[in-house]
Amino acid sequence: GAVVSQHPSWVICKSGTSVKIECRSLDFQATTMFWYRQFPKQSLMLMATSNEGSKATYEQGVEKDKFLINHASLTLSTLTVTSAHPEDSSFYICSARDRSGVGYTFGSGTRLTVV
């Protein structure tokens, strides 16, 4: 079945630094990928829609200059958290859809801790 690989699975960084998270569709092409954020004991919140070859679409309240999304190929989308602060600490998850399959495939998530 469709596989989405997300890397790294966890990362700790210092306040003020930037962190890049990668999301790859391993066995299918994805023109669209989605990025979510999930705080402890809460549901997933959609942050943005990543579109291959064009600008990402951000949900209301999500700072596009802080959460940079690049979807340079049909199999890779990256989320860069710039100038990270402790309040950015969260679980970040990506998803994509294999058009030949059913439903969406999610990555395994990235636990970001900003200290």
Partner 1 sequence: LAKTTQPISMDSYEGQEVNITCSHNNIATNDYITWYQQFPSQGPRFIIQGYKTKVTNEVASLFIPADRKSSTLSLPRVSLSDTAVYYCLVGDGDNAGKSTFGDGTTLTVKP
Among 13, 45, 62, 76, binds partner 1 (CB under 8 A): 45
How far, in Å, CA of 103 to CA of 114, rounded?
32
Alpha carbon distance 62, 46 (integer Å):
9
Q: Which of the ranges 12-20, 60-68, 76-84, 107-115 carries the binding residues for partner 1, by CB under 8 A?
A: 107-115
- 48 vs 84 by CB, closer to partner 1: 48
Q: Is 6 in the site for partner 1 (CB under 8 A)?
A: yes
Task: Sort residue 99 into left (φ over 0), alpha (ψ -120 to 50) or beta.
Answer: alpha
* 104 touching partner 1, by CB under 8 A: yes
**Closest among 103, 84, 107 to 9, alpha carbons compared:** 107
Minimum CB distance to partner 1 smaller for 11 or for 44: 44
CB 87 → partner 1: shortest distance, Å? Answer: 19
Applying CB under 8 A, among 11, 20, 49, 68 the residue interacting with partner 1 is 49
Range in contact with partner 1 (rule: CB under 8 A) among 14-22, 37-45, 67-75, 78-86:
37-45
For residue 104, the SS3 value is coil
Asked if residue 71 lies in contact with residue 52, where contact means CB atoms within 8 angstroms, the answer is yes
